[in-house]
Structure 1
């Protein structure tokens, strides 16, 4: 059973309930003062508390998508991303391999032409030699006969670190929100490519081309857009692709839009920071290359590079977020032709609840800045 499965959560909750009832039932029998009963009381209390903590932890992981698998949780995902070669003779050529489909959790979602479809895919990068799992949301119009020749705008949607792509569907409800807003007419139908920025797990590469290491920026700036446009009916002209992310994914989204405006016409950073950190999860990202380190600092980029022709959206909260002051500084540094917008909540933490409040407006914003024609 998978770490994020409902069966594991139900089993943990049931075990906690049984242990709690057992504690109440057997406590009188363990009331005597000898080493056996004392050991029994300590053991049953520890077991009950561990079961309760496990239930809470599993529920939180399901809600916030910290870890996708048991191997991810215990740090056993150490192998870097690799290129996946496909044999055209077997009908599986191309950089995107569809591994399964699922309906969107909306009314009428059983029919792709009504609810759209979510495809589970593997995206392989020719330039970066990286591969990543992702989910692709295709809107209902993608399957309707009258739109069979239509091309659609698309947005890459990134989680934070470590994050799981599944959390973008279950926790943050990107496909459901996009479906609802398009049905209301407040945004155009769009393709969403949902994945985590961790393309070389468990390392946090911060979407940087690490010298002698994972070429994460190349994957997101070149390989992923080319793979998506080759496999799906996405607009090929500049202005048809955007990027959204939260936390680490928010930093990546802004960096991709600032550094690659010819690829990403718009970038939205929800609770983003503006400079790649160096810590135990990232390792040495720059290997002493000061120019590469400066280039990964978005404040430096705005001060020293030509203003990119792209649109940026930043979000923060006056209370609860620690990026409020930096976000205000970032906005002040933006110069034409770059356009910048913001969402500032009165209060809200660095969590899913805050991002769910920002996602509807973010999708409408990015929809208004992309065009597939």
Structure 2
């Protein structure tokens, strides 16, 4: 049973309840002062507390999608993030392969023409040879005969670190939110490409082209759009692509929109930060390359690089988020130039969590939809 399995969570809760009941039942028998009774009391208390903490930890992971598997939790994930897959690169299948399909949550098993579809895919970058899974949401209009010649705008949606792509579907509910907004005429039908920025797990690459390592920025700026365009009816002209992310994904979204306005006409960062960190999860991202380090600092980019012709959205909360002051400063810096457009969502209170981002996602999807063309 996997880390995110409901069976694991319910078993942990049942075990914690049994230990609690057992502790209450056995406590009178262990009231004596000899070493066996004392040891028994210590073991029961310790066991009950560990079971409760495990249950709470599993429930939190289910809610927020911190870790996808036991190997991910214990830092033993073995998936190879950078590969040369000659079959995928050279065969007729192309750089994107559909692995599975599913209904959109809330569509009640409706056919794709009515409820849209979620496809699980594998993507291999032609330039970078990075291989990574993703989920693609296709709106109902994509399958309707009257739209058979139409191309659709596309938006990449990124998790934080470590994050799980599935959480974007199940926990943050991007597909069902997009389907509802489009049905109500509040946004245009749009393809969503949902994935985590961790394309070389377990390393946090911060969407940087690492010298001698994963070329993550190039993958998201070039390989990913090319792979999606080759497989789906997505507009090829500039202005048809956007990118959204939370936390680490939010930083990546802003950076990619700023560095590559020809690829992304709009970028939205939910609770983002504005400079790539260096810590045990990232390792040495820049290998002494000062230019690369500066480009990963959005403050430096705003001061020293030409203003990009793109639209940016940032979010924060007055109470509960540590990036609030930096976000206000970022808005002010962007406003100082006349080419880059900046918008914001500032909540009265919130946090660095799924509940806050779910409150921001509908407005974010509407915002980005209004800045993308479908041709």
Matching of residue 254 in structure 1 with residue 262 in structure 2: no
What TM-score do the two structures reach when normalised by structure 1?
0.97
Structure 1 position 45, deviation (Å):
1.5
For 1:152 and 1:15, the matched residues in 2 are separated by 49
Matching of residue 42 in structure 1 with residue 29 in structure 2: no
Deviations 1:117-165 (A, max 9, x none): 1111111111112111111111111111221221111100001111111
Deviations 1:281-315 (A, max 9, x none): 11111111111111111111111111111110011
Deviations 1:218-248 (A, max 9, x none): 1111111111111111111111110000010
For 1:65 and 1:137, the matched residues in 2 are separated by 19
Tell whether the 8 Å contact from 1:86 to 1:92 is kept in structure 2 after alignment.
no
For 1:277 and 1:163, the matched residues in 2 are separated by 17
Which is further off, 161-170 or 326-335?
Answer: 326-335
Tell whether the 8 Å contact from 2:82 to 2:214 is kept in structure 1 after alignment.
no
Deviations 1:37-57 (A, max 9, x none): 211111121111111111111
Structure 1: give runs of 5+ residues left out of the alignment.
Answer: none
Superposed counterparts of 1:44-63, under 5 Å = 44-63=44-63
Q: Which residue is 1:203 aligned to?
A: 203
Q: Which residue is 1:343 aligned to?
A: 345
SS of equivalent residue, structure 1 residue 27: helix
Structure 1 position 108, deviation (Å):
3.6
What TM-score do the two structures reach when normalised by structure 2?
0.96
Give me the CA root mean square deviation.
1.6
Superposed counterparts of 1:64-143, under 5 Å = 64-78=64-78, 80-83=80-83, 85=85, 87=87, 93-143=93-143
Deviations 1:48-98 (A, max 9, x none): 11111111111100100000011100100255413363648x986111111
Superposed counterparts of 1:132-281, under 5 Å = 132-281=132-281
Tell whether the 8 Å contact from 2:159 to 2:249 is kept in structure 1 after alignment.
yes
SS of equivalent residue, structure 1 residue 135: strand
Matching of residue 368 in structure 1 with residue 370 in structure 2: yes
Structure 1 position 269, deviation (Å):
0.5
For 1:108 and 1:149, the matched residues in 2 are separated by 27
For 1:279 and 1:160, the matched residues in 2 are separated by 15
Structure 2: give runs of 5+ residues left out of the alignment.
Answer: none
For 1:64 and 1:276, the matched residues in 2 are separated by 22
Q: Which residue is 1:298 aligned to?
A: 298
Which is further off, 129-138 or 361-370?
Answer: 129-138
SS of equivalent residue, structure 2 residue 203: coil
Which is further off, 316-325 or 3-12?
Answer: 316-325
Deviations 1:340-365 (A, max 9, x none): 11111111111111111110000000
Tell whether the 8 Å contact from 1:83 to 1:125 is kept in structure 2 after alignment.
no
SS of equivalent residue, structure 2 residue 200: coil
For 2:313 and 2:226, the matched residues in 1 are separated by 24
